Amino acid sequence: MPEASLATMPRHVAIIMDGNGRWARARGLPRTMGHKKGVEAVRDVVRTAGDIGIDYLTLFAFSSENWRRPEAEVSDLMGLLKAFIRRDLADLHRENVRIKVIGDRENLRSDILPLLLEAEETTRNNTALTLVIAFNYGSRDEMARAMQKIASKVRAGLIEPQAITPELIDAHLDTVGIPDPDLIIRTSGEERLSNFLLWQAAYSELVFVPEFWPDFNRDLFLSTIETYAGRERRFGGLTAKPALMGQ
């Protein structure tokens, strides 16, 4: 039995799409142009993920901290997300893509929540790629909301504190039912997770690429997958899968 095995195709890829602002600044353009170009990169990557048979693609579209940006930029980003769903939903549905949204849905603006719900509802039975959109998402916030749900169940006497296991916590996160990401990519040369999928990233391979998000395309995506495929995955043991540990 091999001591570790090389990763092959990732089942779940998650992406921190960073560098829209710097891409625009480098060209003397307003930041909003960077975000606009970023949406084109989103389309390219979603198509590629579907073509190569990735099961789950998670995109960090808007963090719970992004509300701190100037109002005009927040409004631009909202506008782009709304336009993406309005314009692309029919195509994605036709391509059998299932959309899921993670993040806090409380107090979301009334012009965005119904669109997100419609996207989920329309595509819920699709069976090709699952596109997970992280919107108003922060990992610590997600974990705090999960703890609140679990604590309420303990207080109501529905579960014992000893029943709180990693699996039970998984079942109360926004990502319930979605496998942990095998590969997390961040563009723009920054090398940190920035409150993205902290719990789920326990054994993810991380690949950081220097290109700004608007320049991320099919070829770059395929080359990050090649990098991933060359990595050895041990999941804390000597063998490739937890199931083989101790054998």
The footprint of ligand FPP (CB under 6 A) covers 17-22, 35, 38-39, 42, 59, 61, 66, 77, 80-81, 84, 133
In the complex, which residue's CB is closest to ligand FPP?
21
Residue 163, Cβ neighbours under 10 Å: how many?
12
SS3 (DSSP) at 23: helix
Q: Please, which residue, 19 or 138, has the CB nearer to ligand FPP?
A: 19
Min dist CB 5 to ligand FPP, Å, is 33
Min dist CB 16 to ligand FPP, Å, is 8
Q: Please, which residue, 4 or 89, has the CB nearer to ligand FPP?
A: 89
Contacts made by residues 91-94, CB under 8 angstroms, sequence distance 24+: 92/46, 92/123, 92/131, 93/122, 93/123, 93/126
Annotated active-site positions, please?
18, 66
Dist CA 206 CA 87 (whole Å): 32
Min dist CB 41 to ligand FPP, Å, is 7
Residue 53, Cβ neighbours under 10 Å: how many?
10
Dist CA 28 CA 242 (whole Å): 50
Min dist CB 84 to ligand FPP, Å, is 4
Q: Please, which residue, 81 or 92, has the CB nearer to ligand FPP?
A: 81
Q: Please, which residue, 55 or 211, has the CB nearer to ligand FPP?
A: 211
Q: Tell me if 133 sits within 8 A of 174, measured CB to CB.
A: no
